Amino acid sequence: MDKYLYENYALFGSAPEQNKGLTARARGILANPLHHYLLFGVVMLVVCFLSANKVLPYSLQSGLAITFAYSLASVGFCLLMGYSGLASLGTGGFMGIGCYSIHFVMTEAGLPFGVALVVALAIAIVLGLIVGVVSLRIEGIYLVILTLGLSEILRNLYIAVQDSIYLSTFKLFGITVPRSASGYVVTVLLVIVMMLTHNLIVSPTGRAMLAMKNSTAAAQAMGISLMKYRLLAFVICTVYAVLSGMMLMITIRSAMATDASGFYALITSLNILAAVIIGGFRSIWGAVFGTFIMYGLQTMLLNRIPFLQENPVIITFVSGILVVLVVMFYPGGMAQLVQEVRGKLRKSRAARREAKYGKD
Amino acid sequence: MAYLLNVILGTIVPMCVTALVTMAITIIFKTSSTTNFAQGVISAFGAYVVASGLNKLNLSIWLALPIGIVVAVAMAVAIDVLIFRRGRYVNALGKQIITMGLISIIVGAIPLIFGMQAPQFRTFVEGKLSFLVDGQDVTVTVNALVCLAITAVVLTALFLLLQFSKWGLSVRATASNEYVAGMLGINTHVITAISWGLAGALGTLAATMNGGINQVGVYFMTNYQVNAFLAGILGGFATFYGPVIAAFLIPLANNLVVYLANVMGKPELSSWSLVIVYGLALVIIFFKPQGLFGKRTVKKV
């Protein structure tokens, strides 16, 4: 029995041997990709904590919270574009649903966060289903424009209903969460969402979506229901976008619908798209990294440089150039870069081993 | 009746702006097979150049406009030559994303070049015309009529050229299949470059018209661009005239909704006008995915 167990452990690469070093054990834990997300979450929570207590610069935690809030939308978009091959420019409009449900349910009606969450998710699912059904009839560039139109409808709806919204106090499970502590909530949610998305991608659902992306006809021939997976992809993307809007509302606490550079303007949808492209559109880490480039870099690091603080437009300018260069010369994004570097390292390590021990 | 006439006459400038922007977007869509999301900011860039001509050099608008057009054309052609021609193997989505990157570049460049302050702008001509209908005043600005005349001349000339000139034939050939057109001896590089230049020129013209009635800003053409995209799929990108007709319909329908809301005694509905018009447009597109004037295409496997 013991022997059998041992063999099994050996198979999965994490035998509880006594003489195993700490690094080997750490490597064993990190062999599970889900643990990467947990580790990331813990590190970021510590950074948030240190920053809130002013050990690290104070602006760090708000920058992180904003980046992670937008990252939720990016991860959803990554799933939609990288795995299902569908593109949408509705992200900004969908994010507004989260913001407005928080305003109307929590600020106006005084109900708890859970109710706002349920309302927002219900609307998100309905909208996702509608867009999914539309995507069965209209494809490609036309679908992009259609979702853009839908997003504009939503934005004009927000302007017509109420232009300026706010959230004064945010309570989670009866505890008041101040603005400076919103980073914790956002980080925890992002880690959960990343893990769920990872599981989805490696599951048969993810494979089916990938098949659908490569060829709808071939996927259908293999018995994959286009309708089911397209609807699913859009529902998930919309739900993530709505969550992202809710988290932004918790982090920033107010929003304006008429603001041309605000949350639910066209520019947000474009920025999320650019973030996913820069990061590499088939990688969850890439999506988060790209969002950091688009949103976090400026508040967290570049604003420390006085020249850039005076001319924030230079960052917009450079990020635009970056997007164009990445698409033209590096279509896989940062994820491709990381993979290539990793491959080169592996090759050089193998070469070194060969030089040392000879060929096997 | 007089009120309805006033509403329709008040829509002239937005209709012209939307139609010109739609033409620009359609012509790029046909030749470079991408939706140019940067059309709005390229137009805004042209408007900023026109504004500097007006304010810094004290030129008249008839002199400043050509300068703006020349600069915008140069910029658009440069975008095509430097980026799109090299990115030939980038897929359709990649091309769209490049135009989105261009938005960031131009949005960043405008304040760097022209400063943060929103520029002053002028209409083509001052003055109003008034006449009586059923004993009530109907007013129209002379500027609106000038805009309408310019738009009519420009669009008519373009349609005639597209239909009857050799250039138009080359554009239509490139639109239908770039590789085959190239094989048949058409210089598709030149055709796409001209299209981009035209888009820059049309955009600047539209932005100058819009600058007369709205505050100029970096994003001040974005709403028109969104309208133009919707017009494009509402009319169907298969033809050149479909999008332009739809471009006239969208602002008109928008103001008609406002008119109906006021006539029915529910003025609070008027802020919902865009929601209603866009919603209607989307419903039409859902049932006619190829657009109002489009041709049904058969998908090959």
Q: Does residue A146 share a domain with residue A9?
A: no
Q: Does residue B225 form part of some domain?
A: no
Structural domain span for residue B165: 2-218
Q: Closest-CA residue in chain B for A220?
A: B301
CB B1 within 8 A of CB B133: yes
CA distances from B118 to A250, B114, B216 (A): 32, 9, 6
List, in sequence order, every beta strand (DSSP E) within A200-329: 254-256
Q: Does residue A129 form part of some domain?
A: yes
Q: Does residue B161 form part of some domain?
A: yes
Q: Which residues of chain B have pLDDT under 70?
A: 88-89, 296-301
Helix axes B273-287, B241-263, angle to 10 degrees: 140
CB A245 within 8 A of CB A96: yes
User: Cβ–Cβ of A321/B102 closer than 8 Å?
Assistant: no
For residue B202, which of B81, B57, B61, B27 has the smallest C-alpha distance? B27
For residue A95, which of A287, A244, A256, A234 has the smallest C-alpha distance? A244
What's the confidence (pLDDT) of residue A9?
A: 46
Q: Would you give the DSSP letter of residue B292?
A: S
**A175-189, A269-283, B138-152, B287-301, range with greatest mean pLDDT:** B138-152
Q: Does residue A278 form part of some domain?
A: yes
Please count the structural domains in chain A.
2
CA distances from B131 to B10, B146, B264 (A): 14, 18, 25
Q: Tokens in use for B242?
A: 């479909």
Alpha helices in B87-187 (DSSP H): 92-114, 142-164, 166-176, 178-183
User: Cβ–Cβ of B272/A157 closer than 8 Å?
Assistant: yes
Alpha helices in chain B (DSSP H): 2-10, 12-32, 39-55, 61-79, 92-114, 142-164, 166-176, 178-183, 188-213, 222-235, 241-263, 273-287
**A261 pLDDT more than 60:** yes
User: What does the alpha-carbon distance between residue A169 and residue A179 come to, in Å, rounded to a whole number?
Assistant: 9
Instruction: Note whether B132 contacts A: Cβ–Cβ < 8 A.
Output: no
For residue A287, which of A64, A68, A37 has the smallest C-alpha distance? A68
Helix (H) or strand (E) holding A135: helix A113-137
In the block, residue with structure tokens 């009839």: A137
Q: A339 vs chain B: nearest CA distance in angstroms?
A: 21
User: What does the alpha-carbon distance between residue B88 and residue B94 come to, in Å, rounded to a whole number?
Assistant: 10
Name the residue with higher pLDDT: B150 or A220.
B150
Q: Does residue A274 share a domain with residue A165?
A: yes
Q: Tokens in use for B231?
A: 């017009």
CA A82 to chain centroid, in Å, comes to 12
User: What does the alpha-carbon distance between residue A294 and residue A275 come to, in Å, rounded to a whole number?
Assistant: 6
Give the nearest partner residue to A313 out of B92, B101, B112, using CB atoms.
B112
Phi, psi of A172 (to 5 degrees): -125, 120
Q: Does residue A5 share a domain with residue A51?
A: no
Q: Tokens in use for A109?
A: 């009606």
Q: Does residue B238 form part of some domain?
A: no
Q: Does residue A256 form part of some domain?
A: yes
Question: Which B residues in the span 166-225 are in contact with A, Cβ-Cβ below 8 Å?
Answer: 217, 219, 222
User: Cβ–Cβ of B108/A277 closer than 8 Å?
Assistant: no
Q: Does residue A264 share a domain with residue A176?
A: yes
Mean pLDDT value across residues A57-82: 87
Q: Does residue B96 form part of some domain?
A: yes
What's the confidence (pLDDT) of residue B274?
A: 82
What's the confidence (pLDDT) of residue A240?
A: 93
Lowest mean pLDDT across A192-196, A276-280, B199-203? A276-280
Q: Given pLDDT bands bounded at 50, 70 and 90, which one contains residue A236? A: very high
Give the nearest partner residue to B285 out of A146, A156, A314, using CB atoms.
A146
CB atoms within 10 A of CB A176: 9
Structural domain span for residue A74: 34-302
Q: Does residue A67 share a domain with residue A8?
A: no
User: Cβ–Cβ of A274/B222 closer than 8 Å?
Assistant: no
CB A74 within 8 A of CB A272: yes
Q: Does residue A120 share a domain with residue A5?
A: no
Q: Given pLDDT bands bounded at 50, 70 and 90, which one contains residue A360? A: low
CATH of the domain at A136: 1.10.3470
Q: Given pLDDT bands bounded at 50, 70 and 90, which one contains residue A10? A: very low
Q: B124 vs chain A: nearest CA distance in angstroms?
A: 27
What's the confidence (pLDDT) of residue B136?
A: 79
What's the confidence (pLDDT) of residue A308?
A: 66
SS3 B210: helix
Q: Enumerate the residues of chain A whose CB falls inside 8 A of the CB of residue B34.
A: 141
User: Cβ–Cβ of B103/A318 closer than 8 Å?
Assistant: no
Q: Does residue A38 form part of some domain?
A: yes
User: What does the alpha-carbon distance between residue A115 and residue A103 come to, in Å, rounded to a whole number?
Assistant: 12
Phi, psi of A92 (to 5 degrees): -60, -50
Give the nearest partner residue to A313 out of B108, B226, B232, using CB atoms.
B108
Q: Tokens in use for A78?
A: 């990554």
CB B249 within 8 A of CB B8: no
User: What does the alpha-carbon distance between residue B185 and residue B166 come to, in Å, rounded to a whole number?
Assistant: 13
Mean pLDDT value across residues A205-216: 85
User: What does the alpha-carbon distance between residue B131 and residue B148 come to, in Å, rounded to a whole number?
Assistant: 19
Q: B136 vs chain A: nearest CA distance in angstroms?
A: 31
Q: Tokens in use for A325?
A: 């260069």
pLDDT digits (tens, 9 = 90+) for A32-56: 888 888 888 888 888 888 887 777 7
Last residue of a domain, one of A302, A328, A345: A302
Q: Enumerate the residues of chain B whose CB falls inside 8 A of the CB of residue A217.
A: 301
What's the whole-number average pLDDT of chain A? 82
Q: Does residue A154 form part of some domain?
A: yes
Q: A91 vs chain B: nearest CA distance in angstroms?
A: 15
Q: Would you give the DSSP letter of residue A262?
A: S
Q: Does residue A20 share a domain with residue A117?
A: no
Q: Does residue A230 form part of some domain?
A: yes
What's the confidence (pLDDT) of residue A70?
A: 92
Q: Tokens in use for A315?
A: 């960052």
User: What does the alpha-carbon distance between residue B264 and residue B85 come to, in Å, rounded to a whole number?
Assistant: 54
Q: Does residue A130 share a domain with residue A15?
A: no
Name the residue with higher pLDDT: B123 or A29.
B123
* Interface probe, candidates B45, B86, B104, B270, chain A, greatest A C-beta count within 10 A: B104
Q: Tokens in use for A159?
A: 């302007």
For residue B154, which of B78, B208, B75, B81 has the smallest C-alpha distance? B208
Mean pLDDT value across residues A148-165: 84
Please count the structural domains in chain B.
1
User: Cβ–Cβ of B275/A156 closer than 8 Å?
Assistant: yes
Name the residue with higher pLDDT: B22 or A174.
B22
Q: Closest-CA residue in chain A for B218?
A: A260
Q: Does residue A138 share a domain with residue A282?
A: yes
| A21 half-sphere exposure, CB direction, 13 A CA radius | 3
CA distances from B27 to B2, B30, B91, B261, B281 (A): 37, 5, 19, 36, 22
What's the ipTM?
A: 0.81
pLDDT digits (tens, 9 = 90+) for A301-317: 666 676 666 666 777 78
Q: Does residue B278 form part of some domain?
A: no
Q: Does residue A168 share a domain with residue A182?
A: yes
User: What does the alpha-carbon distance between residue A216 and residue B1 come to, in Å, rounded to a whole number?
Assistant: 53
* Interface probe, candidates B93, B224, B225, B272, chain A, greatest A C-beta count within 10 A: B93
Instruction: Note whether A136 contacts B: Cβ–Cβ < 8 A.
Output: no
In the block, residue with structure tokens 């609070």: B268
Q: Does residue A180 share a domain with residue A98?
A: yes
Q: Does residue A166 share a domain with residue A124?
A: yes
Last residue of a domain, one of A250, A280, A302: A302
CB atoms within 10 A of CB A92: 26
